Amino acid sequence: MSDNDLATDVDLTLVDDVERMVRGTAEMICAEQPDVPQPESLHDLDSFSMVQILLELENTTQLKLLERFEGFQGETFRDLAEFIVKFTTEDDQEKQQAAAEAPQGQASPV
């Protein structure tokens, strides 16, 4: 199923919270590296820092972000936050749909 197959309503307050988490994680990762300035956007990050940030976010959220990141084309922390909220919302909708379609008395395979 492609990203466009699901109509997804994104909770903007959730996006705000995720954006703060993404920005804070980026600042923390960059602060741990010598001579790396605090990032203002994703453009300020090299690939090594970006992977570190995604791995830290995976650890914090228990989401598989690296697997999904290939389709990401944003430039800002907010773009990344919206991307994360969108696919987690889609995943939740798919799980709810699968549970609703599962025969009574059987567990959903998801």
Residue 48: C-alpha distances to residues 19, 61, 95 (Å): 20, 20, 33
DSSP string spanning 46-59? -HHHHHHHHHHHHH
pLDDT of residue 105: 58
Cα–Cα distance measured from residue 18 to residue 80, given in angstroms and rounded to the nearest whole number: 9
Q: Report if residue 110 sits inside a domain.
A: no
28-54 residue pLDDT tens:
999 998 888 899 999 999 989 999 999
Largest Cα–Cα distance in the chain?
A: 59
Structural domain harbouring 44? 22-81
**Prediction pTM value:** 0.76
Q: Report if residue 16 sits inside a domain.
A: no
Q: Report if residue 42 sits inside a domain.
A: yes
Q: Report if residue 97 sits inside a domain.
A: no
Q: Report if residue 1 sits inside a domain.
A: no
Find all residues with CB under 8 Å of 39, minimum gap 6, and list them: 26, 27, 30, 45, 49
Q: Report if residue 53 sits inside a domain.
A: yes
Q: Report if residue 93 sits inside a domain.
A: no
Give the total number of structural domains in the chain: 1
Q: Report if residue 96 sits inside a domain.
A: no
